[in-house]
Amino acid sequence: MGTIAENLARIQERIQNRALKVGRKPEDITLVAVSKTVEISRIKEAIDAGVTTLGENYVQEAREKISQLGQEVSWHMIGHLQTNKVKYVVPQFSMIQSVDSLRLAQEISKRALKLGKSIDVLIQVNISGEETKSGVNPEELLPLLEKIAPLKGIKVKGLMTMPPFFSDPERARPYFRKLWQLREKTLPSLPDSISLTHLSMGMSGDFEVAIEEGATMVRIGTAIFGERK
């Protein structure tokens, strides 16, 4: 592990190389630096080195960081979100990547409307069907999108998934491919107000495979900040 700036440069280079290798534009892939459990000074280092989007999992922890670091970067909620915490998330985050129920979407809509804002979200899909994972089952996706479509103040921009952990990233490939295929299958029936432009998939160990399979957002923590305590 090098410094945060070195790690970041290396990751950006790998994103770029892999995108070009499969004929994609590197600028179509957003790096979300995952800063859960990382202390403020190290997050500052990453921002100084060029990070523009930060991903956080825990609401209370994120609120403290945002109050110190402010809105010069975009904050994405990537962790499981309870309905009663939505009121803290909507004002400060630019995207919620972990929407997995109508109830949650309704609460986000309500809170956003109160603030006169609109917030972008992704729908988290449980592609692997593991019971411990959050996310809607693939067959629940379209019915959920149809119910979210009329809600104001919330804009669905794509899908997010988290495959099981494998030490060999090739084993994650079928899950990334399934998310792509689910998007393709859903597109013809998509309600007007919804777009599925974004696929958020790929983490430190498997983001290059995810890029090959069409990721537009990769969520990377350990490879930038080092192992979490």
For the CB of residue 189, give the shortest distance to ligand PLP in the complex, in Å. Answer: 27
Q: Is 36 or 147 the residue whose CB approaches ligand PLP more closely? A: 36
Write phi, then psi, for 179 (nearest 5 degrees): -65, -40
Summarize as ranges the residues that interact with ligand PLP (CB under 6 A).
34, 36, 57, 78-79, 162, 203-205, 219-223
The pairing of beta strand 53-56 with beta strand 154-161: unpaired
Rounded to whole angstroms, the Cα distance separating 87 from 125 reads: 23
Q: Is 36 or 178 the residue whose CB approaches ligand PLP more closely? A: 36
For the CB of residue 227, give the shortest distance to ligand PLP in the complex, in Å. Answer: 8
Q: Is 214 or 221 the residue whose CB approaches ligand PLP more closely? A: 221
For the CB of residue 193, give the shortest distance to ligand PLP in the complex, in Å. Answer: 26
Q: Is 86 or 223 the residue whose CB approaches ligand PLP more closely? A: 223
Q: Is 34 or 156 the residue whose CB approaches ligand PLP more closely? A: 34
The torsion angle over the Cα atoms of residues 26, 170, 161 and 197, rounded to 10 degrees, is: 30
Residue 107, number of CB atoms within 10 A of its CB = 21
For the CB of residue 228, give the shortest distance to ligand PLP in the complex, in Å. Answer: 7
Q: Is 84 or 167 the residue whose CB approaches ligand PLP more closely? A: 167
For the CB of residue 181, give the shortest distance to ligand PLP in the complex, in Å. Answer: 21
For the CB of residue 61, give the shortest distance to ligand PLP in the complex, in Å. Answer: 12
